[in-house]
Structure 1
Amino acid sequence: MATRLVQINMKAQDDSALGRFWAQALGWGLDSEGPGVTNLEPVGFSYPDPAAVCIDVIARPEPKMVKNRVHLDLATTSTAHQTELVARLKGLGATLADVGQGDVPWTVMADPEGNEFCVLEPRPVYRDTGPIAAVVVDCTDPREMARFWGEAMDWTLHEVTDDHATMRSAEGVGPYLEFLRTPDTKSGWNRVHLDVRPYPGGDPAAEEARLLALGATDPGIDRSEISWTVLADPEGNEFCLLSPG
């Protein structure tokens, strides 16, 4: 049994507007499965496919209050491309952000609702990821996060140290999932979280039990009106276990 990362769930006060921003930023298409939900994926994409981690933008009334513990890193192919992309994103409504990064070669920005993301300088490791180089999760223990997520999913662990860990789909395509050691700890509900899905034929109840045995916890969400399962990883980051598919 195994799951794979299929999408990022991002809360927004205006899902349509934020969805349009990210669709234009990534060059993706957007759709909606109902009021308050905006879905983003590459044009012509057949979901789910490890070649991309999609984005669901979900309407929520609460404003963003603290730095997100999950963010996107965007890939660039050259210094000129990085400069052009930063300028284009500013034109779409993004702003420069200071999260204490100091003098670094990447550019930290925030989308129109304040969600932090990075526009990376060109790095060979991300040359074939598509527009999203990596999904980055802040944590206090990258080794433990790599252990849990490495067993939770069938993704391949590429590197793990005391400061960071990196994994990618078993097919070697799409963005990386990275865990970055940070001094701050989680407070409140994450406005951006991971969604994982078992493969076709998987048993959702058995998969939930397996994830709990690996160290996930049940945050006690009322399931009466939802068809998926909300769990939390060993550092308390919420994630959703979707139906097999």
Structure 2
Amino acid sequence: MPLRLGLLNFKARDNSALGRFWADALGWDVFSDGPAVTGVGPVGFVWPDPMGFCVCVVAVPDPEAVRYRVHLDLATTSAAHQAELVARLQDLGATPADVGQGDVPWTVLADPKGNVFCVLEPREIYQDTGPIAAVVVHCDDPRAMARFWDAAVDWTLHEVSDDHARLRSATGVGPYLEFIRTTPDAAPVWTRVHLDLLPYPGDDQAAEVARLKTLGATPADVGQGDVSWVVLADPQGHEFCVLAPA
């Protein structure tokens, strides 16, 4: 059966520091903090929460080059809230970022480790998502991405066009997963952010991996070695992990 979209995975040299930044930024709790992994989720979150979505920061050496193919959009409820949030995030260590956005109503920032994210102006569609409006994935074919991810996870496809596609949890809570068309970049560089998928209890990880391959996923080697999760790439080359059932 389709998998759960369980968490957004950041890589950083100091997982604890970045995890605490995002906990403070989102108003969430640090629910686990070890020497290599820090978990951040809504207040009261207990992993694995079938209704929840969280952030996981994993300690790795810093890369020499990064392609920002996945980023977070943060929601706001008013112009005043947007301004206050931007100021608070900068107090926490975020810095302004220029990704060629030009004159836009949202604000582009980078977290203390250089991961770019956006603080959106108020938008009606995101008023009930919580602090994260959307996990945004850059691609050159949103329709193809929508077909794959609609079958891969148990989220509902809300809209799809040549330039944009949007999915959300079937329960109607939490952030959207969005695919936006951008100029392709064939440069083979490292990415810091990816999605982790989780089988439901009783489901078979190997069977789910095989199913994803029939949908167009391919094996990926990011130096993971002998681990309990399986690293794949979607049809547009975005790496993601299939975790062992929990």
Q: TM-score range by the shorter chain?
A: over 0.9
**1:53-64 → structure 2 map (5 Å cutoff):** 53-63=53-63
- The CA distance in 2 between the partners of 1:89 and 1:166, in whole Å, is 26
Report deviation, 1:217: 0.1
SS of equivalent residue, structure 2 residue 227: coil
Q: Identify unmatched segments of 5+ residues in structure 2.
A: none
Residue equivalent to 1:145? 145
Greater CA drift, 14-23 or 128-137 = 14-23
What letter matches 2:112 in structure 1? P
For 1:133-172, what aligned pairs fall within 5 Å after superposition?
Answer: 133-172=133-172
In structure 2, what is the equivalent of residue 120 of structure 1?
A: 120
Distance change in 2, residues 1:199/1:50 (3 Å): closer
Kindly indicate whether the alpha-carbon contact (under 8 Å) linking 2:126 and 2:133 is maintained by their aligned counterparts in 1.
yes
- Structure 1 residues 61-114: Cα deviation after superposition (integer angstroms, max 9, x where no partner): 124633411100000010000000000001001011110111111111100111
Query: 1:190 aligns to what?
Result: 191
Instruction: Look up the match of 2:210.
Output: 209
Matching residue's letter, 1:8: L
Amino acid at match of 2:148: F
Query: 1:51–1:175: 8 Å Cα contact kept in structure 2?
Result: no
Q: Tell me how far apart the structure 1 counterparts of residues 101 and 146 of structure 2 sit (CA, whole Å).
A: 24
Alpha-carbon distance in structure 2 between the residues aligned to 1:222 and 1:183: 27
Instruction: Give the letter for the 1:106 counterpart.
Output: W
Sequence identity percentage: 67
- CA separation of 1:88/1:50 partners in 2, compared to 1, >3 Å: closer, same or farther? farther
CA RMSD after TM alignment:
1.6
Deviation at 1:198, TM superposition (A): 1.3
Which secondary structure does the structure 2 equivalent of 1:135 belong to? strand
TM-score (norm 1): 0.95
Distance in 1 (CA, whole Å) between partners of 2:153 and 2:51 is 16
2:73 aligns with 73
Instruction: State the 4+ residue runs in structure 1 displaced beyond 6 angstroms.
Output: none
For the Cα contact (< 8 Å) 1:67–1:116, is it kept in 2? Answer: no
Amino acid at match of 1:211: L
Q: Distance in 1 between matches of 2:174 and 2:228?
A: 27
Matches within 5 A, 1:83-122: 83-122=83-122
Check conservation: 2:12, 2:60, Cα contact below 8 A.
yes
Instruction: Please say which of residues 225-234 and 50-59 is displaced more in the overlay.
Output: 50-59
- Mapped contact 1:30–1:39 kept (Cα < 8 A): yes
Could you list the runs of 5+ residues in structure 1 that have no partner in the other structure? Answer: none
What TM-score, normalized by structure 2, do the two folds share? 0.95
8 Å contact from structure 2 (residues 198, 244) kept in 1:
yes
Cα distance change of structure 1 residues 221 and 77 upon mapping to structure 2, 3 Å threshold: closer
User: How far apart, in 2, do the equivalents of 1:40 and 1:92 lie?
Assistant: 16
Residues 1:129 and 2:129 aligned together: yes
Structure-1 separation of matches of 2:130 and 2:32: 23
Give SS of 2:240's match.
Answer: strand
| 2:123 partner amino acid | R
Kindly indicate whether the alpha-carbon contact (under 8 Å) linking 1:50 and 1:169 is maintained by their aligned counterparts in 2.
no
